[in-house]
Copies of this chain bind each other. A is one copy, B any other.
Amino acid sequence: MDCRIKSDFSVIEKIHTPADLNQLETPELSALADELRRIIIRRVAENGGHLASNCGSVELTVALHRVFNAPGDRVFFDVGHQSYAHKLLTGRAESFEKLRRYDGISGFPHPEESGFDPAPAGHAGSALPVASGFAAAEPDADGRLIVVIGDGSIGCGVNFEALNHLSHNPGKRRIVLIINDNQMSISRNVGGLSTYLNRVISGTFYNRVRYGVKRGLRRLPKVFSLLRSLVISAKGALLPRGNFFELLGLRYLGPVDGHDLPNLVRVLERIKAFDAPVVLHVVTQKGYGCSYAEDDPTRYHGIAGCDAETGKLPAGSRGFSRALGDALLKLAEDDPRVVAVTPAMIEGTGLSEFSRSYPERCFDVGIAEEHALSFCCGLAAAGKIPVCTFYDTFLQRALDQIYHDGVLAKVPLILAVDRAGVVEDGPTHHGIYNCGFLRSLPGITICAPARCKDVERFLKMAIKENHPVVIRYPRGSSPDVELPELDIPVVPGKAAVIRKSPADRAVIWSIGRELFTALACADILAGAGIAVTVVDARFLKPFDRALALELAMLPHFTIEDHCVVGGLFSALNEALSGVPHGVVRGFGWSDEELTGHGEIPKLRAHAGMTPEQIAGVISGALGETL
């Protein structure tokens, strides 16, 4: 199937709730899957979003909603980046047009968006633990709790904790765990369990009949579907004994072809009749049905948009991520101790080229944030200089390890924290909450470069420190401007004064790329004859207290792409606390209202964080009007 967009959506129009699927004959179900896929491709091409994962799970989603009765039966999509078909089938087909828009629906499940979404999702591994809670709350309830989880997410620690606990759950019989096995997380999967799942697939009759068939599993003759279903009725008969899940006390079925809709429906109908926790192993292909996404599922995992026909991606600016990757390449060349570690974010954090140039010095540990951090601490203690790349939101998973294995051991660990700030994906992915914890840890450095081009100098500074250093930068790029004031050496605890004059009536403090918001404010204010000092704090810890004291008596305004609590605003207030000082006003993301999803300029405007809004507040505070 190619990606041509047809105008024919005759089946989806009949579906207002999942119950409507019961009206469809088998051929219509397949037509529905095709329609869903075309809608998804068109919408993601336009709005951006997750393409490959959503294409791969269309048939599975259709089969689930055909067989089970949502919302009485609850369907949890782990991570949630494969829930588009689910959204389209659960009353959100019309609102799907505004997918990921500020005034539209989210790219992830959320109970406030729909009663068909039992829990928020965005981080890996939460679905089974949360569903387990539902099960234990009402062990005797009828509704099944269906958890769809990727084979990458299966290796995630919290998911294993839930699997391990499941045998003790009084409501375990309600759980149906679907492993959507596409042999990928965002990148190709790693780990013993993943290897094991592959061995299961390749060691079974399932795969022997598949052998020789390139791609397109559903092209298999019907007879094989029938034979495959035998694997299910004769539980485990074709599997090696001692299946991983059965050792943990769960009943295992599969593997089955995740694109063979009629067979999926048959298998799920049988599972529906069970009164025991079941693991169904479904094999899918990431990007299935969209040729370019099939060919390069990593590239088309999450995109900002593309040409729907050809898949051509817009010339992207992956500024900070690439800057990190480039800087790391240079440093690695000079210093054999430099290695890179990431929990399944090679591409997203700019490590692709590094991983090709230094495969033996680049460790992708899979979706395992906690292990990633502790693993780095071991590397560091043994003499390496590990640079661990993270998205800030996922770093929340490893805060304990930063303290316990990093800070306590006083190891020279470098955390390169990408997506530190608000992102379009919304609250599950914002990187705006970690600084409060990090700032309280003794023996840690927290800093942020203002420009992409500064990343390298911050990294060089970090390498000289003998304890954990956190370097934070947002998604995307920065203005590529020359600013001599930024060329001063990067010294822990030293801010950079960007603008200053004796006539200044206030000081704007910024951190990281927000310097450019600060400068834009300053320009607006200057236009109204109001001169202000502009400081790039550079370091949240150690914070430049000396500078704060020097400027103490001015009114202070802070701008940060972080929650207004815990970061720059808090640090400045603490630094000034012991002396008389001017008022301090903070501009950042709310600690009282959740920050949503959508276009960043709209999110900023809602939060009062545009240069114009900030300049307005500052001039008002100074008794002036703009």
Q: Is A427 an interface residue (CB 8 A)?
A: yes
Q: Which residue of B lies closest to A577 (CB)?
A: B584
Contacting pair B170 A192 (CB below 8 A): no
Closest residue of B by beta carbon distance from A367:
B161
A191 CA to B158 CA, complexed, in Å: 13
Are the C-beta atoms of A566 and B439 separated by less than 8 Å? yes
Tell me the complex Cα distance, A248–B244, Å: 9
A375 — which chain B residues lie within 8 A by C-beta? Answer: 129-130, 132-133, 136, 162, 165
Which residues of chain B are within 8 angstroms of A155 by Cβ–Cβ distance? Answer: 160-161, 164-165
Task: Determine the residue in chain B with the shortest Cβ distance to A572.
Answer: B577
How many angstroms between the C-alpha atoms of A451 and B580 in the bound complex? 35
Residue from B191, B247, B585 within 8 A of A578 (CB atoms):
B585
- B162 near A160: Cβ-Cβ < 8 Å: no
Given known contacts A110-B408, A161-B365, A138 and B382 CB-to-CB distance under 8 angstroms: yes
Which of A268-276, A320-328, A392-400 interfaces with chain B? A392-400
Partner of A163, one of B110, B126, B192, B577: B192
A443 at the interface (CB under 8 A from B): yes
A17 contacts chain B at the CB level, 8 A cutoff? no
Q: With CB as the reference atom, state the residue of chain B lying closest to A427.
A: B408
Residue numbers in B under 8 Å from A368 (CB-CB): 158, 161-162, 164-165
Min Cβ gap A368→B in Å is: 4
A2 within 8 A of partner (CB)? no
Q: Please tell me if the beta carbons of B428 and A404 are within 8 angstroms of each other in the complex.
A: yes
Query: Is A167 a contact of B138 with CB atoms below 8 Å?
Result: no
Asked whether A224 is an interface residue with its Cβ less than 8 Å from the other chain, the reply is no
- Contact (Cβ within 8 A) A133 B242: no
Cα–Cα, bound, A405→B407 (Å):
27
The reply to whether B164 and A379 form a contact with Cβ atoms under 8 Å apart is no
CB pair B563 A248 closer than 8 Å: no
CB distance from A581 to the nearest CB of B (A): 9
CB proximity to B under 8 Å, residues A377-426: 377-384, 386, 394, 396-397, 399-401, 403-405, 407-410
- Closest B residue to A129 by beta carbon equals B374
Q: Residues of B contacting A118 with CB < 8 Å?
A: 381
Mask: chain A, 430-452; 1 = CB below 8 Å from B; 0 = not: 00111111111111000000000
Asked if A526 is at the interface of the complex by the 8 Å CB criterion, the answer is: no
CB closest residue in chain B, given A437: B437
Complex CA–CA separation, A240 to B157 (angstroms): 26
- CB of A586 closer than 8 Å to a CB of B: yes
Say if the beta carbon of A208 comes within 8 Å of chain B.
no
Q: What 1/0 mask marks residues of chain A from 247 to 258 whose CB sits below 8 Å from any chain B CB?
A: 111100000000
A-B contact pairs, 29 of them (CB 8 A): A119-B377, A119-B378, A120-B404, A120-B405, A123-B400, A123-B404, A129-B375, A129-B401, A130-B405, A132-B374, A133-B378, A134-B379, A135-B378, A136-B375, A137-B383, A137-B384, A155-B165, A166-B192, A168-B192, A192-B248, A241-B241, A399-B399, A399-B437, A433-B440, A436-B436, A437-B437, A440-B563, A570-B570, A570-B574
Shortest 8 CB-CB contacts between residues of A and residues of B: A242-B242, A133-B378, A157-B157, A436-B436, A129-B374, A137-B382, A161-B368, A161-B371
Besides A133-B380, A161-B370, A192-B250, 15 new A-B residue pairs in contact (Cβ under 8 A), listed by A number:
A119-B377, A120-B409, A130-B375, A132-B375, A133-B376, A136-B375, A137-B383, A137-B384, A157-B161, A161-B366, A164-B191, A166-B192, A168-B192, A193-B248, A573-B577
